[in-house]
Chains A and B, each alone.
Chain A
Amino acid sequence: MTDLSLSQACADPLLEMRDLKLWYRVRAGGLSGKPEFVRAVDGITLDIRRGETLGLVGESGCGKSSLGRTLMQLEKPTSGQVLFEGRDMATARGATSLAQRRAIQMIFQDPRGSLDPRMKVRRLIGEGLVIAGVPREERRARVEALAERVGLRREHLDRYPHEFSGGQRQRIGIARALALRPKLVVADEPVSALDVSVQSQVLNLMSELKAEFGLSYLFIAHDLGVVEYISDRVGVMYLGQLVELADAEDLYADPRMPYTEALLSAIPDAARQSGRPRIVLKGDLPSPRNPPSGCPFRTRCWKATAECAASRPALREVKPRHWAACHYA
């Protein structure tokens, strides 16, 4: 999709993705044939607004984490652009590039894997400040203030990550992400490794910090209940493509893309309050190495017709502030 009029234009977006693609080459081309690619992110145009929480949902392999990694500049996009505060991140150099990198930070799913086991908490939280050249005294004060803010005690600062529970480790990860005063935090499955009774504590902390620090979140998760609660807008990804985007309330109340419908109906509902008929999909997710022609979801869709195989539906505004990529939305 190259039609930029599709961008969910707002006055002053914090970050803009323009037809972003991230293809991984899984087989080299040559005499034996064509090169093969996994289309992890396949043409995404999406804005993140200042102060919003944008939820991104989809099943494993849909490319949601790859998208987050591209924004973090951990992956170089195959094509397309990412603009941060209007400036192209790929061409930014020097101080601009450094400022952009500091302004986007990440919270990882597994706080055990993302915290160096040989560093004490004080150093884990302050590492970015050391690199940024913050003087020792100021660093100490900022680390202590942050630790206190995320609910760690003073004596915790001189302990190692393994001495903490999962919830506390995630608090350390959050403090570490906030140390450089970012504007955007990419949170990739931040609570899915936590027990239910601890999950709410971390979600509440993230909401409070968002208001206090003026943050925007890209909240990537597979748990649709959590995403509904925390997000202002929600995007749904399927096989590397954005297939639906709307305000959270509207998306959950009135999904237009059949995949979103199926996904929402599949949530095991502890309260059984939604009354949605359950749609059990046939078949598995196709391989992103060899995606179906036309609409990526047509192989599992109960509404699919010949048209769905022939042409890929564009993401279009099916009602105000609600975009869906389906010929029949």
Chain B
Amino acid sequence: MNDPVPSAIAVDPILEVRDLCTVFDTPAGQVRAVDGVSFTLGARRRLGVVGESGSGKSIAAMSILRLLDSPGRIERGEILFRGRDLRGLSDREFLALRGRDLCLVFQDPMSALNPVYRVGRQVGEQILAHRRLSKAELRAEVVELFRQVGIPDPDRRFDEYPHNLSGGMRQRVVIAMAMANKPDVLILDEPTTALDVTIQAQILDVIRGLTETTVMLITHDFGVVREICDEVVVMYAGRVMEQGPLEEVTARPRHPYTRALLASMPGLAERGKPLFAIPGTVPSPFDLPPGCGFAPRCTHATARCATRPPLFAAGTGHLSACWLQETLTND
């Protein structure tokens, strides 16, 4: 989409993504993993990006952080951090920023940690990459970080290896590592998906406690977004379907996909009655529908859906990419 996108939330924006398109040129054809995605992160807000596998949510984050590997590339779009376009920075300038101002936490903490180094040293490395400290200062600072993310007995944990720690503890170490330089923006990609629910609750508590940090949380689980986010972006097949304040989107979802996704949650279903199910499957990235990505599975689809709908305003800061926007009724 080349037409200007209505901006969702304008309060003190810290990270703005405008019309981001990320493509992968493969021998089997071009995959548009992220297709015209725009959103704004307000300072100290928590934004949830929800989507199923293949929705482009992780690729969007990797595009922002310049972590795309060939053949992936950003085709167009702007990524503004404090008003400055990150795409214009040299690698050197970008590296100074990543890890200090912008940090990422991955789903699997084991792959983010080096198995042969003690965890305290690994967190310390993050600090030393951007600042100079004495050994004693460094240790004190890391121990303090461990305390902040709720690691019990932090001084002893400093000298442990990753394999000595449980999954929940490892994820805390990775979050401590990301928080080491007090980043402005923390991007978390499925941070609790590999964890049990009681441990997930602990990690969500830690994230909730980072009140000075702007958080972008990528997840497939609407429930997790519901727990800790202020705003939500719903993605499907590389595009934004709906976005807006969390309460607004969950209480009055306007896009048929968001409605269907929320209705599919078994927690809402009555036992003995069939669950609400979205027919069909997520489209192949090589064969995306020309218009609305959700149209082939949508019960409301009409001929109009063969043309890609723009984002329509659906309320204050609430946008929905559906031609039926006007006719969908509130309930």
Contacts and interface: CB of A to CB of B under 8 A. Distances in A.
Interface string A272-307: 110000101111110000000000000000000000
Contact of A280 (B201, B264, B276): B201
B271 A225 contact: no
Interface in B141-197: 152, 166, 168-169, 196-197
A165 B282 contact: yes
Contact of A229 (B168, B169, B269, B282): B269
B130 to A, nearest CB: 31
A59 B265 CA distance: 20
A285 B279 CA distance: 39
B226 interface: yes
A265 B204 CA distance: 13
A309 interface: no
A199 B205 CA distance: 28
A19 B265 CA distance: 36
Given A222-B196, A284-B168, A165 B226 contact: no
Contact of A197 (B166, B196, B264): B264
Interface stretch (B35-43, B81-89, B216-224): B216-224
Given A225-B265, A268-B227, A204 B274 contact: yes
Nearest to A62: B196
A248 to B, nearest CB: 7
B266 A225 contact: yes
A194 to B, nearest CB: 9
Contacts of A196: 52, 220, 222, 261, 264-265
Given A204-B277, A224-B197, A284-B199, A195 B220 contact: yes
Interface string B253-268: 0000000111011111
Contacts of B227: 268-269
Nearest to B221: A268
Nearest to A268: B223
B129 interface: no
A267 interface: yes
Report the contact-size class of chain A (Cβ under 8 Å from the partner).
Answer: 35 or more
A200 interface: yes
B211 interface: no
Contact of A278 (B201, B222, B224, B226): B201
A197 B261 contact: yes
B277 A270 contact: no
Contacts of B266: 199-200, 203, 223, 225-226, 228-230
A278 B200 CA distance: 12
Contacts of A197: 52, 260-261, 264, 277-278, 281-282, 297
Contacts of A203: 266, 275
A222 B197 contact: yes
A248 B272 CA distance: 12
A59 B197 contact: yes
Contacts of B226: 268-272
A201 interface: yes
Interface in B48-102: 52-53
Nearest to B284: A165
Given A195-B220, A196-B220, A271 B268 contact: yes
A225 B197 CA distance: 12
Interface string A182-198: 00000000000001111
Nearest to A57: B197
A266 interface: yes
- Which of B261, B262, B274, B275 has the most chain A CB atoms closer than 10 A to its own CB? B275
B197 A195 contact: no
B198 interface: yes
A255 interface: no
A271 B264 CA distance: 11
Given A195-B52, A273-B267, A278-B201, 17 more contacts: A165-B281, A167-B281, A195-B282, A197-B261, A197-B282, A197-B297, A200-B278, A223-B266, A225-B266, A229-B269, A267-B267, A270-B223, A270-B226, A271-B265, A273-B268, A281-B198, A284-B169
18 contacts: A196-B261, A197-B52, A200-B276, A204-B277, A223-B266, A224-B197, A225-B267, A226-B266, A228-B271, A230-B271, A265-B201, A266-B200, A269-B226, A269-B267, A270-B262, A270-B268, A272-B226, A284-B169
Interface of B: 52-53, 152, 166, 168-169, 196-202, 204-205, 220-224, 226-227, 250, 260-262, 264-269, 271, 274-279, 281-282, 297
